[in-house]
Amino acid sequence: MSIMEATNILGVNVSAINLDLACRAIEDWIKRHEKVYICVVPVSTIVECQRNKDYMRILNAAHMATPDGMPLVWLGRLKGHKDIRRTYGPDLMRDFCKISQEKEYKHYFYGGTPEACRLLEVKLKEKFPRLSIVGKLSPPFRELSENEDQGIVEEINRRNPDILWVGLGSPKQDFWMYEHRDKLNVPVIVGVGAAFDFLTGTKKQAPRWMQYTGLEWFFRLCCEPQRLWRRYLIGNSKFIYFLLRELVVKKVG
């Protein structure tokens, strides 16, 4: 279960946090060398959890499940969480890299393509010259053998990072973190979805005004209509339906 204040949205415990609170919590876990994992939760993940209860269980076992989407922030505020703000994967990664320059926290990146990992290191070093990056690894786009998986665990542990950023996409990255949490000696593991691509500029980010008015989905849909139409047009409709259904059930009950 989450150890911080949370708001329950359709059965998922979304942490009632903001970027500043999230970074402070990560620092505290690193200092205490606690083994935690953090999930970034957009609306599409909440929708997926309605049919996949194993996924919901994994999210609810995370130490932090960040509100990555304005609808989740608005719902949190309606439930009385005044400090909740959008805690978006790329922003969390960028802010914590900035903090890490002064504190000398060690970073490891797992996911994406080899070129994306290389470019990510270049871009982050340009912005944060004193950032300590102790390793990066791009796994093959197929199921790994047991020996390959064990080799990856040993490689990450050998590098001894303070924080491991996982960019495998959801839900794959969340299941990976849950299954590997006890095998890895890293204090903090964070699943950040497409953050690698956004921070390198491989994918365009929506303008800030669209992000904070809840219109980022429309921007991303326009950029990648074939890949994302189902997630946003069908997924967002399902999200509204599930919320209305829950409201009706509570009123009837």
Phi, psi at 109, each rounded to 5°: -115, 130
Distance from the first to the final alpha carbon of the chain: 27
Q: Tell me which residue has tokens 């509100």.
A: 67
Compute CA distances 218 → 99, 155, 204, whole Å.
Answer: 32, 39, 13
Read off the pLDDT of each residue in 207-215 and give the average, rounded to a whole number.
84
Distance CA 247, CA 159 (A): 49
pLDDT for res 244: 93
Higher pLDDT, 64 or 198: 64
**pLDDT of 224 higher than 90:** no
**pLDDT of 208 higher than 90:** no
**pLDDT of 191 higher than 90:** yes
Higher pLDDT, 224 or 8: 8
What are the tokens at 196? 């690698």
One DSSP character per residue, 93-137 reads HHHHHHHHHHHT-EEEEEES-HHHHHHHHHHHHHH-TT-EEEEEE
Distance CA 205, CA 200 (A): 11
Binning pLDDT at 50, 70 and 90, where does residue 193 land? Answer: confident
**pLDDT of 1 higher than 60:** no
Higher pLDDT, 37 or 218: 37
Read off the pLDDT of each residue in 14-29 and give the average, rounded to a whole number.
97
User: Which residues sit opposite 107 in a β-bridge?
Assistant: 133, 163
Beta strand 163-167 with 132-137 is: unpaired
Task: Give the mean pLDDT of the chain.
Answer: 92
Read off the pLDDT of each residue in 136-160 and give the average, rounded to a whole number.
93
**pLDDT of 112 higher than 60:** yes
Contact (Cβ atoms closer than 8 angstroms) between residue 212 and residue 20:
no
pLDDT digits (tens, 9 = 90+) for 42-76: 999 999 999 999 999 999 999 999 999 999 999 99
Q: Which residue in 201, 141, 202 sits closest to 168, CA to CA? A: 141
pLDDT for res 3: 54
